[in-house]
Amino acid sequence: LAKTTQPISMDSYEGQEVNITCSHNNIATNDYITWYQQFPSQGPRFIIQGYKTKVTNEVASLFIPADRKSSTLSLPRVSLSDTAVYYCLVGLMNRDDKIIFGKGTRLHILP
Amino acid sequence: EPEVTQTPSHQVTQMGQEVILRCVPISNHLYFYWYRQILGQKVEFLVSFYNNEISEKSEIFDDQFSVERPDGSNFTLKIRSTKLEDSAMYFCASGTGLSYGYTFGSGTRLTVV
């Protein structure tokens, strides 16, 4: 898996849009970018995955520039319940690959 | 939405005792995993399991650990002789192998005293 760098922590306020950027300079041609979310005392939860440009689902959007050396997870109009740790993962992601988690970004939403 | 179910949610055990952590993966999933997370630290991979055998294990998964799929629904992690440093949240996960992203359970908090 490619090495990733993301902020250790971020604070934001309810109703704001939150963007978490992940750097992955050594991303390989076949690598995908995947984000997981972990609430306190719960297991990680898959949020979104993309290869290039933009992916959107009901939870978040993922923006990937043309060089793919970084990506941005965008959470629209966050609420207190979005307080969690967010993990950026980059790799080939074969169907049975283990996931190696880094420290992630601890997002704290304030009222 | 299908869930991975883990029991018990909390377990306290004395050092040296054996514990078995149980997981019921999503029914049509074929790939199974155990992870652990020591308080305040990263989620760490322990072992992956497919086709009734271990496909990969980490350095953490030493001879004190074993996994089993005793029937068609359960997936267990056994720690033979627990140590204080085994205290952690243990997460089970399962996947279909058809698309990336697997589902984690809510975890078992193991406390060794």
Contact B45 A93 (CB under 8 A): no
Percent of chain B surpassing pLDDT 70: 96
Helix, strand, coil share of chain A (percent; to 5): 5, 50, 50
Is the pLDDT score of A29 beyond 70?
yes
The beta-carbon neighbor of A44 closest among B43, B48, B96 is B43
The answer to whether residues B97 and A95 touch, using CB atoms and an 8 Å cutoff, is yes
Cβ–Cβ under 8 Å, residues B48 and A98: yes
Length reported for chain A = 111
What is the token pair recorded at B14? Answer: 């004395």
Per-residue pLDDT at B98: 59
Write down the pLDDT at residue B51: 87
- Evaluate if residue B113 carries a pLDDT over 60: yes
> Which pLDDT value is given to residue A15?
97
Q: In this structure, what token pair is assigned to residue A10?
A: 């971020």
Confidence class for position A55, pLDDT limits 50, 70, 90? very high
pLDDT at A92 over 90: no
Q: Is A80 in a helix, a strand, or coil? A: helix
Report the SS3 class of residue A105.
Answer: strand
pLDDT above 60 (res B99): no
Confidence class for position B73, pLDDT limits 50, 70, 90 = confident
Residues of B in contact with A44 (CB under 8 A): 43, 91, 104
The pLDDT of residue A93 is 64
pLDDT band at B100 (very low <50, low <70, confident <90, very high): low
Interface residue of A33, A62, A99, A100 to substitute, partner B, most B CBs within 10 Å:
A99
Contact check, Cβ <8 Å, A95/B45: no
